[in-house]
Amino acid sequence: MVEIKTLAEIEAMREAGRVVARALQAIVKHAAVGVRVDELDELAATIIAEAGAKPAFLGYQPHFAPTPYPAVICSSINDVIVHGIPDRYRLKDGDLVSIDCGAYLDGWAGDSAVSFVVGQPRARDVALIEATQEALRAGIAAMRPGNRMGDIGHAISSVAVAGGYGVPIDFGGHGIGRKMHEDPHVANQGRPGRGLVLRTGLVLAIEPMFTAGGDGRYLTAADGWALRTVDGSRASHSEHTVAITDDGPVILTAV
Ligand code: MF3
Ligand code: CO
């Protein structure tokens, strides 16, 4: 069932989103060559706890997962697309890092992800990251009352097609509110004018993930969580929690 939020509920969700945005901002600042990925997880845990919020990923077990998720953030490096579990790995020069973070505050969820390079970036990684950022902006711009779900997916996949990037199927965005994952699913591809009609009060996590290789095919790692590209190419992921209002889309995961 698709839940519609009131303006007051959207304001409460903005506070949850702000906590996630602050955690990601601190992680981007702290991440550097030689930093261990599990330090970034601890940093997020601290910021979320100090805000009186709760990590949304820790202990979460969606249908596709074999075990409850064991960390606060997902850290997906280079050929890992999403759902990388933080470990003792030390970031290396030129690594393409995607960090996804979610939290509950006062019973409301926020979910957001950023991608960046540590150390000296390669031009093609910068272009890939900019493409998922542009796709996120395009998907958000399509979130207008009267538009349809397919308009969001089409806006996202058009950016991938233009850059020759792959779009992993099956994974995408989602409704969000009292639960991190609510209806509807938000595919990263779609046909304009098709699907659910968008209306004021709908809150969606929009999350384009692109692979540098054009086919977007992936494999699940032995831990049952991390998704890796089959061709070994790198991947980028950008995500915001966004509300549809009468005044247009409003990003809730902003500081
Ligand atoms: N943004 C991710 C998603 O919606 C966050 C889920 S990570 C998990 O799939 F660990 F909680 F599953
Ligand atoms: Co999400």
2 falls within a domain? no
Does 109 fall in a domain? yes
Domain membership of residue 231 (yes or no) is yes
The whole-number pLDDT of residue 119 equals: 98
What confidence tens digit (pLDDT) does each residue in 62-71 have? Answer: 988 999 999 9
Q: Which of 155, 140, 104 is nearest to 241 (CA)?
A: 140
Nearest ligand 1 atom, CA 71? 10
What one-letter code names the amino acid at 110? G
pLDDT of residue 64: 87
Instruction: Tell me which of 98, 100, 112 to substitute to probe ligand 1's pocket, judged by most ligand atoms within 8 Å of the beta carbon.
Output: 100
Q: Do the beta carbons of residue 3 and residue 10 sit within 8 Å? A: no
Domain holding 25, by residue range, is 7-251
116 lines ligand 1 (CB under 6 A): no
pLDDT, one tens digit per residue, over 149-192 is 999 999 999 999 999 999 999 999 999 999 999 999 999 999 99
Is there a domain that residue 165 lies in?
A: yes
Q: What's the gap in Å between 199 CA and the centre of ligand 1?
A: 25
Cα of 103 to ligand 2 centre, how many Å? 11
Q: Whose CA is nearest to atom 10 of ligand 1?
A: 57
Q: Count the neighbouring beta carbons within 10 Å of the beta carbon of residue 227.
A: 22
Residue 55 CA to ligand 2 center (angstroms) comes to 13
Residue-level pLDDT at 30 = 98
What is d(CA 153, CA 151) in angstroms, rounded to the nearest whole number?
Answer: 6
Point out the ligand 1 atom lying closest to the alpha carbon of residue 60: 11
Q: What is the mean pLDDT of the chain?
A: 98
Q: Which ligand is nearest to the CA of 70?
A: 1
Q: Is the minimum distance from the CB of 100 to ligand 1 under 6 angstroms? A: yes
CATH number, position 38:
3.90.230.10
pLDDT band at 124 (very low <50, low <70, confident <90, very high): very high
What six digits make up the tokens of 6? 């009131």
Please give the distance, rounded to the nearest whole angstrom, from the Cα atom of residue 90 to the centre of ligand 2.
25
Longest CA–CA span in the chain (Å) reads 48
**For residues 110 and 115, what is the distance between their CA atoms, to the nearest angstrom?**
17
Residue 104 structure tokens: 């509950």
The residue-averaged pLDDT of 139-158 equals 98
- How many angstroms is it from 83 CA to the middle of ligand 1? 7
Pocket test residue of 61, 64, 83 for ligand 1, highest count of atoms within 8 A of CB: 83
Separation of CA 127 and ligand 2 centre (Å) = 22
Ligand closest to 114 (CA) is 1
The CA 240 to ligand 2 mean position distance, Å, reads: 8
Report the C-alpha gap between 217 and 179 in whole angstroms: 29
| Residue 65 falls inside a structural domain | yes
pLDDT reading at 140 higher than 90: yes
The answer to the question of residue 1 being in a domain is no
Kindly state if the Cβ of 104 falls inside 6 Å of ligand 1. no
| pLDDT tens figures, 10-48 | 999 999 999 999 999 999 999 999 999 999 999 999 999
Task: Please name the helix (run of DSSP H) or strand (run of DSSP E) that holds residue 24, with its range, or none.
Answer: helix 7-30
Can you tell me the distance from the alpha carbon of 26 to that of 215, in angstroms, rounded to the nearest whole number?
33
What's the whole-model pTM score?
A: 0.98
Q: Please report whether residue 24 resides in a domain.
A: yes
Number of domains in the chain: 1
Alpha helices in 105-233 (DSSP H): 123-141, 149-163
